[in-house]
Each structure stands twice: as structure tokens, then as C-alpha cells.
């Protein structure tokens, strides 16, 4: 009964039973079909990165041209392929093409991106495919042998070993909401909150405290690109929190060498690109040094309309209102003086830092749309909804017309039975 009723409505909407049966068969075939092959396949080899890209990159049947595909910031070109091939391959070294590298407690992370930048063909000035940027990442564990080759014994002088321990490794990561692990995907909806964790790995150093001196958001990895949006400024003032956002440093710190903060996601107006990069300048001070105007982490609290530091006295954040917290050159001079004093006080156990500041870029952060536009899986498109509404209106109209016709016939029959003469026997 349910199937007949469905076929009846389908007949009214589509105009024929053949279309209804074809649609049912198509749905059944789709249900049992195998998942398609991913359009981009990445192989992380011992010293190479191999990327295989389907020419049907967008799944529309419109094939992309190999000349429109590049890899990494240095725009490395793919291998030469025949026109008959349905894939495009890249084979590059892990340190080639401008690939970025980050060091975590457990892994070496190499990151780059695949760029599809279509160009008009011939004398035409139109494009029929989209510009796209696909992030690529390879992770190699640090505490195990990732090579199939034999490990050869090596010897290095003790002095070289000690110098390698003195190197500071800065990092900036996207984290999950619970701060327990790195975010698995760099995708966001507009209106989401990004959880960022800056960290320095100190090795055998004396304890250090990390600060985020300033941060910028740009459309490309180049921090000098335009347009840009300032997130942290004035030596640690999270100025993004001044607008209608909840952006702030997290208090208290999990560790002196780690600083966490949140940023409400945004996009640049009048620009069609759906990616941004965040570049932060990180620096460290001795952990026992009292935070000051040049070394601080301050958030703006809207409920009190005041700035508050993660640690230290509240007066170190007063300069955030003025937008003047000292000159960067002055910050470096004070930092070197304090390092010399600290070294003379604990010469027996402290070592000179190889680097005490660094600029780290995280990205691309990819936006999928506005938070309020999240669709429910399986929901109908606007065109389908309109057609369904028209179909239901037609069904209702036909039903009412049928009922009216039946009532009219009954009324007509009753009237005839009253006016017809009846013969009476004499």
C-alpha cells in the first residue's frame, strides 16, 4: 500500500511511471556502489613526498590541466605525463619546494599544499574551473626508526652534542577544543573558535617562559601580504578581543613554556579565497623573570572592560589601551642585558641560548561556510523543496476537486429523485 501511494505521488510530480521506476533503480544502484578513489593521494616516503592527483579533481568530469597544478610555495611543477594519463604526479624531496617543517614531542611534521590555479585557454578570458588549495602533511615519529635502512653507528664530539641540546624549538599548533591533542583537520565554519597553542621545547635549558609578541592573519604565508588582520600586538596584547569576539589567552598556563589562546574565526571581506594563515612572533624569557610591559600576555575582558594578564600585576597591561608598550629595539637590549646578568649569576649551570625568538606560521585554515549555514545530511536543495511544494499543492488541489465532484454528483442525484414523477396505480 505504501509503495502504491508513493508511485501515485511520483506519477503526479514527474508525469510518468517510467520516471518513477528509473529513479528507484538509480537510488538502489547508488546505495550499493563502492566509494570513489580520493582525488588526491599522498605517499610519505623516507626522503620523498609523492602526490598523485586525479585530472578529474573536482569530480565534475571537467579535467584539469597539469600545467595548472603546482606544489608548495615555490610552485614546483609535476612530472611530465602523457595526455592519455588520467593522473598527475609530483615527486619532491621533503626539504624541497618550500615545504615547512615543525618539531613536536613525538613527530617531525612536513607540511605543504597543492595549488590548482587555472589560466584561460588561448584567447579566451573566462575560466570554467575553480582555484583550489589542498593542504598536505607528512608525519614522521621522532622516537623510532622510520627508515628501512640499517642504522650506522656515529660518533660526534661532546661539545657538538651540548650545543645541539641548547637549541630552542618553537612551535605553533591548532588544537582540539579540549586542548588534549592537535586538531585533526584545519577546516572551520565561520563563527567557530580556533584553539592555538604556542610552545618552546627547552631541552636542557634553565626554565623559560614563552610569550606571543605579536600575531598577524593573512591570505598567504607571507606575513607582509595585504590585506592583513592583527590578532596580537604591542608585545602581548590580544587586540582581537577588543571587537565582538571571545578571543583571549587561556589562564592559567599549563606550563611556563606553553601559552594557549583562542581566536574567533573570520574571513577577509571582498575576497573569494576561503583560507587564511596566522603568523606569530614568539619569544622567551627566564621563567623567574617577572612579566613586564615588554613581556606579557594580556586579554581584554568585556564584562569589566579591562585588560588582565595571564600572570603578573594588572598594571603591565595598561599600555594596551594606549597602544604603546615600548620599542622593539628597547625590548631586545633589555633582553640581552638580562641574559648576561642571569648567566653571570648561574654560570655553572646555564648556557647561552642559540635562538630566543622565532616567527611561526600555521595554516592554511580552511573555511567551509558560515556556522549558521550548516546543512543537515540528506536535506533537500531549494529547487527540490520548491518542486515538492508544487507537487503537494497539485495533489491537494486534485483531491479537493475530486471531493467537490463527488458531492456535486450526489446532490444532482438527490435533486432528480425529488422532481421525477411517480406513477400511482388507479
Q: What is the pLDDT along the chain (426 residues), one digit of tens a residue?
A: 545 555 454 544 455 544 454 444 444 444 445 556 788 999 999 889 999 999 888 887 888 889 899 999 999 999 987 777 889 999 999 889 999 988 888 888 899 999 988 887 666 555 666 788 899 999 888 765 555 555 444 554 544 444 444 578 899 999 999 999 999 888 988 789 999 999 998 766 678 999 999 999 999 998 888 899 999 999 999 999 998 888 999 999 999 999 999 999 888 888 888 889 999 999 999 999 999 999 999 999 999 999 999 999 999 999 998 888 875 443 343 445 444 444 444 443 344 434 588 999 998 998 876 444 444 334 444 444 445 556 666 666 777 777 777 676 766 555 554 444 444 444
Number of Cβ atoms within 10 Å of the Cβ of 28: 10
Report whether 135 contacts 364 (CB < 8 A). Answer: yes
pLDDT of residue 350: 42
- For the chain, domains (ranges, CATH) are 35-143 (2.60.40.3210), 164-371 (2.60.40.4100)
Q: Which residues pair with 90 in a beta bridge?
A: 51
pLDDT of residue 209: 94
pLDDT of residue 117: 87
Look at strands 87-93 and 48-54 and give their pairing.
antiparallel
Cα(19)–Cα(28) distance, integer angstroms: 14
Nearest to 210 by CA among 249, 162, 165, 181: 249
Report whether 288 contacts 207 (CB < 8 A). Answer: yes
Amino acid at each position: 500500500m505504501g509503495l502504491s501511494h508513493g508511485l501515485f505521488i511520483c506519477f503526479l510530480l514527474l508525469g510518468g511511471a517510467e520516471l518513477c521506476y528509473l529513479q528507484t533503480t538509480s537510488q538502489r544502484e547508488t546505495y550499493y556502489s563502492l566509494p570513489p578513489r580520493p582525488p588526491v593521494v599522498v605517499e610519505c616516503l623516507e626522503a620523498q613526498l609523492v602526490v598523485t592527483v586525479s585530472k578529474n579533481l573536482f569530480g565534475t568530469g571537467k579535467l584539469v590541466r597539469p600545467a595548472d597544478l603546482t606544489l608548495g610555495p615555490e610552485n614546483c611543477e609535476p612530472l611530465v605525463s602523457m595526455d592519455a594519463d588520467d593522473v598527475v604526479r609530483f615527486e619532491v624531496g621533503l626539504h624541497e619546494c618550500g615545504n615547512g617543517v615543525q618539531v613536536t614531542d613525538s613527530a617531525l611534521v612536513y607540511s605543504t599544499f597543492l595549488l590548482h590555479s587555472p589560466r584561460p585557454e588561448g584567447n579566451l578570458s573566462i575560466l570554467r574551473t575553480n582555484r583550489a588549495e589542498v593542504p598536505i602533511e607528512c608525519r614522521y615519529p621522532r622516537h623510532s626508526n622510520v627508515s628501512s635502512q640499517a642504522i650506522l653507528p656515529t660518533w660526534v664530539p661532546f661539545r657538538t652534542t651540548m650545543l645541539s641540546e641548547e637549541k630552542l624549538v618553537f612551535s605553533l599548533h591548532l588544537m582540539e577544543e579540549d586542548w588534549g591533542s592537535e586538531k585533526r583537520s584545519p577546516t572551520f565554519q565561520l563563527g567557530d573558535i580556533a584553539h592555538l597553542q604556542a610552545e618552546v621545547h627547552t631541552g636542557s635549558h634553565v626554565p623559560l617562559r614563552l610569550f606571543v609578541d605579536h600575531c598577524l592573519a593573512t591570505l598567504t604565508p607571507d606575513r607582509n601580504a595585504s590585506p592583513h588582520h592583527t590578532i596580537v600586538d604591542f608585545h602581548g596584547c590580544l587586540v582581537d578581543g577588543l571587537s565582538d569576539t571571545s578571543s583571549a589567552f587561556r589562564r592559567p598556563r599549563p606550563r611556563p613554556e606553553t601559552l594557549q589562546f583562542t581566536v574567533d574565526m573570520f574571513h577577509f571581506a571582498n575576497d573569494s579565497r576561503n583560507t587564511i594563515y596566522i603568523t606569530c612572533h614568539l619569544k622567551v624569557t627566564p621563567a623567574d623573570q617577572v612579566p613586564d610591559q615588554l613581556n606579557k600576555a594580556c586579554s581584554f575582558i568585556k564584562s569589566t572592560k579591562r585588560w588582565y594578564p595571564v600572570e603578573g600585576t594588572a598594571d603591565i597591561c595598561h599600555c594596551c589601551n594606549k597602544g604603546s608598550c615600548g620599542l622593539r629595539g628597547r625590548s631586545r637590549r633589555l633582553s640581552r642585558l638580562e641574559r648576561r646578568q642571569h648567566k653571570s649569576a648561574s654560570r655553572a649551570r646555564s648556557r647561552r641560548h642559540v635562538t630566543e625568538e622565532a616567527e611561526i606560521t600555521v595554516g592554511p585554515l580552511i573555511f567551509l561556510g558560515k556556522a549558521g549555514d550548516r546543512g543537515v545530511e540528506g536535506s533537500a536543495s531549494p529547487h527540490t523543496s520548491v518542486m515538492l511544494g508544487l507537487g503537494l499543492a497539485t495533489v491537494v488541489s486534485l483531491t479537493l476537486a475530486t471531493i467537490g465532484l463527488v458531492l456535486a454528483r450526489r446532490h444532482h442525484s438527490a435533486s432528480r429523485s425529488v422532481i421525477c414523477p411517480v406513477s400511482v396505480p388507479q
